[in-house]
Amino acid sequence: MSDSTTNAPGWPGIPPRWTSSAKTGIGTSLNRSSRVWFTLSHGILNEIYFPRVDMACTRDLGLIVTDGASFFSEEKRDCKFEIVPVEPGVPAFRLVNTEVGGKYRIEKEIFADPHRNVVLQKIKFIELSSTGQPVVPRFGGGKFRLYALLAPHLGNVGSNNTAWTGDYKGVPMLYAESPSGLALALGCSVPWAKMSVGYAGSCDGWQELSRNFQLTNEYPRVENGNVAVTGEVDLSACGGEFVLALGFGNIWAEAGEQVRAALLDDYSSLFRDYVSQWRNWQKGLLALDGSGPRDVYRASTAVLRAHESKDFLGGVIASLSIPWGFNKGDEDLGGYHLVWPRDLVETAGGFLAAGAVGDAVRVLHYLETTQEADGRWPQNMWLDGRPYWNGLQMDEAAFPILLVDLLRREAGGALGDLARWWPMVRRAAAFIACNGPVTQQDRWEEDAGYSPFTLAVEVAGLLAAADVADNVGESAMASYLRELTWRGR
């Protein structure tokens, strides 16, 4: 396309990149009607996933501070960060970002709307004096200007996004959409003072503000590129306190409706609902809390649970991140937000250790559904079972057998009739018998051959399958599997 189509220079923008995988927080609502997952690092929102936990739709959303003349500061680069969960085991967070020179402080409360596809941030911007004390603005305005900068990467892709300034039913909003049929809208509890969209690296808000310290150009639309959207918060209208709502949908109007509905709803009620859902789930776990200043147990269980899909129940991705994301672009669609059967079984083991038996059984149902016809599982896969990489890791054929055995021994009543799981176990054991013990890849996905780790899992898996066979009346198969492991020695 030509620049004259939008009057915004620099199409299509610089090559898109993701961001740091060093997350300091992740979260999602436990309500299945809310299909957003958020991540945090360096004091700001990073990737937000929608409508599935394996589909990233943003790079990051942070704030920029200027004085309109000569001062420029980006919170993710120029602040000291503090972050704490609102309570142990609840993945909603309070952040305090203080500018390294002591000029301002930004306080945030972040969680997902439990009833909508919206991530909410309640923000307080505080100008600081030379002594570190809050400055009370005179006549409703202060020294600084505040801007929200969002980088859409809809559907795991940073290119071919289109962004524009607009409104929903008269409420000003910043929009983006992609050919994948996904859209987002960014709204504020006070109307945006200024709005602009641009191509990343050429005419986006960061470029404008770092050069001119204000939005001198307000571009209304950019198409089919690596785009960013920027809105100026009207600090004089809100006294520095406001709510940002980032909503998602299949089209722009759906995203806009979600944002407006969230902003019109009672913020305190939404927050209480979100917290109560997690609090109730945590109450069902074993009381294994530590005595130290940080409750690592509750944080760990929340992290495990927050990675589960809301469409493909029991499907838990490896991580809400893209490793080395600052150097990865559209060529790396999967990142770590894929299902590795090995990691999935280990997650189920964590659930079971914490007393979340039902969560562990959901994982087993998911594994049963995604087993290949020949008995193995993909090296890694999208939530719907499509393989991403096509390597063969023999330990991943054995781990699901170990999960059946673990549940049989620790929570047999939750499995029901063990014979119901025998077909899955038999196919997996047969695949190991016919294709092991040599593996195409070890657990680090690099080396082929005889791997001690892989061998240990294969042998344990065959012996566990033999025990299951005995319990379902398949004594001949049980004897064969035990003999096979002995011969393998």
Task: Dump pLDDT digits (tens) for 429-455.
Answer: 999 999 999 999 888 888 899 999 999
Residues 256-272: pLDDT tens digits?
Answer: 999 999 999 999 999 99
Q: Give mean pLDDT, residues 405-412.
A: 95
Q: Is the pLDDT of residue 96 over 60?
A: yes
d(CA 308, CA 304): 7
- Percent of the chain at pLDDT exceeding 70: 97
Name the token pair of 467: 């025990």
Q: Is the pLDDT of residue 160 over 50?
A: yes
Q: Label residue 326 by pLDDT band (50, 70, 90).
A: confident
Q: Label residue 139 by pLDDT band (50, 70, 90).
A: low
Name the token pair of 381: 């896969």
CA distances, 468 to each of 318, 425, 446 (Å)? 28, 8, 32
Q: Is the pLDDT of residue 277 over 50?
A: yes
Q: Is the pLDDT of residue 19 over 60?
A: yes
Would you tell me how many other CB atoms lie within 10 Å of the CB of residue 158? 26
Q: Give mean pLDDT, residues 232-254.
A: 97
Tell me, yes or no, if the pTM score tops 0.85: yes
**For position 488, what pLDDT does the model report?**
52
Interhelix angle 395-410/357-370, nearest 10 degrees:
140
Q: Label residue 363 by pLDDT band (50, 70, 90).
A: very high
Domain 338-487 has CATH 1.10.1750.10: no
* Of 21, 9, 7, 1, nearest in space to 335 by CA: 21
Architecture label for domain 3-279:
Distorted Sandwich (2.70)
Name the token pair of 228: 């960013």
Q: What b/e sequence results for 162-180 when a residue is b if at least 16 CB atoms lie within 10 Å of its CB, and e otherwise?
A: bbbbebbeebbbbbbbbee
Question: What is the SS3 assignment for 287?
Answer: coil
> Where exactly are the structural domains of the chain?
3-279, 338-487
For residue 265, give the DSSP letter.
S
Q: Around 232, how many Cα atoms within 13 Å sit in the side-chain half-sphere? A: 22
Under 8 Å between Cβ of 330 and 73? no
Q: Label residue 22 by pLDDT band (50, 70, 90).
A: very high
Q: Label residue 2 by pLDDT band (50, 70, 90).
A: very low
CA distances, 172 to each of 203, 235, 249, 374 (Å)? 21, 16, 17, 54
Residues 467-477: pLDDT tens digits?
Answer: 999 999 999 99
Q: Label residue 328 by pLDDT band (50, 70, 90).
A: confident
**For position 5, what pLDDT does the model report?**
44
Q: Label residue 138 by pLDDT band (50, 70, 90).
A: low
Q: Is 236 exposed, middle or buried (0-12, 13-18, 19+ CB in 10 A)?
A: middle
Q: Label residue 37 by pLDDT band (50, 70, 90).
A: very high
Average pLDDT, the chain: 94
Per the document, the length of the chain is: 489
d(CA 17, CA 339): 22
